[in-house]
Amino acid sequence: MDYQAQESAQAAPAQQYAGVGSRFLAILIDSIILGIVFGIINAILGTALKGSFAISGIEGLLLLIYYSCMEATMGATLGKKILGLRVVKEDGSSIGWGDSIIRNLLRIIDIIPGFYLVAAILVWTSSSKQRLGDKVAHTVVVKTR
């Protein structure tokens, strides 16, 4: 380990990782917020696109944009902010756009087998409470208060 890396490791404060419960509540809050937005979109576009996969595609894209933009620019979604959670790199530094997009693209794998069941299992069994997207992007969700 070089001097800068050693100094950085020593300067990094101990992080308290967010567990399944607080992360689930953050997702629930975000889901309520996004549900309202999607309701408005469906009300506006619903009759024109009824029975179309276009609405699902729009919603999927909006989910990726919401999660990625909020985390890359603010370090947290509205749900995480309300609960005092933040997404950071494993070393405690802020995440960037690439990190955020990677972790949120992999959210699809967390959701497919059941509502975040894969994510919950990975968070429960990981010492740093990381889901798949966190592991690949080298990010963690930490408590800020």
pLDDT at 8 over 50: no
Please, are residues 86 and 74 in contact by the beta-carbon 8 Å criterion? no
102-125 pLDDT, tens digit per residue, is: 999 998 888 777 777 888 888 899
Predicted pLDDT at 1: 47
CA dist 15 → 20, 63, 75, 99, 136 (Å): 16, 27, 15, 19, 19
Please, are residues 129 and 123 in contact by the beta-carbon 8 Å criterion? yes
79-106 pLDDT, tens digit per residue, is: 999 999 999 999 999 999 999 999 999 9
CA dist 61 → 55, 57, 75, 118 (Å): 10, 6, 20, 21
Res. 2 pLDDT band, cuts 50 70 90: very low
Rounded average pLDDT over 124-132: 92
pLDDT at 10 over 60: no
Q: Indicate the SS3 state at residue 142.
A: strand
- Give 78: exposed, middle or buried? Use CB within 10 Å, 0-12, 13-18, 19+: middle
Torsion of CA 69, 41, 116, 131, to 10 degrees: -10
- Of 86, 113, 93, the C-alpha closest to 122 is 113
pLDDT at 12 over 60: no
Cβ atoms within 10 Å of 33's Cβ, excluding its own: 15
Predicted pLDDT at 17: 96
pLDDT at 44 over 50: yes
Query: Taking all residues of the chain, what is their mean pLDDT, rounded to a whole number?
Result: 85
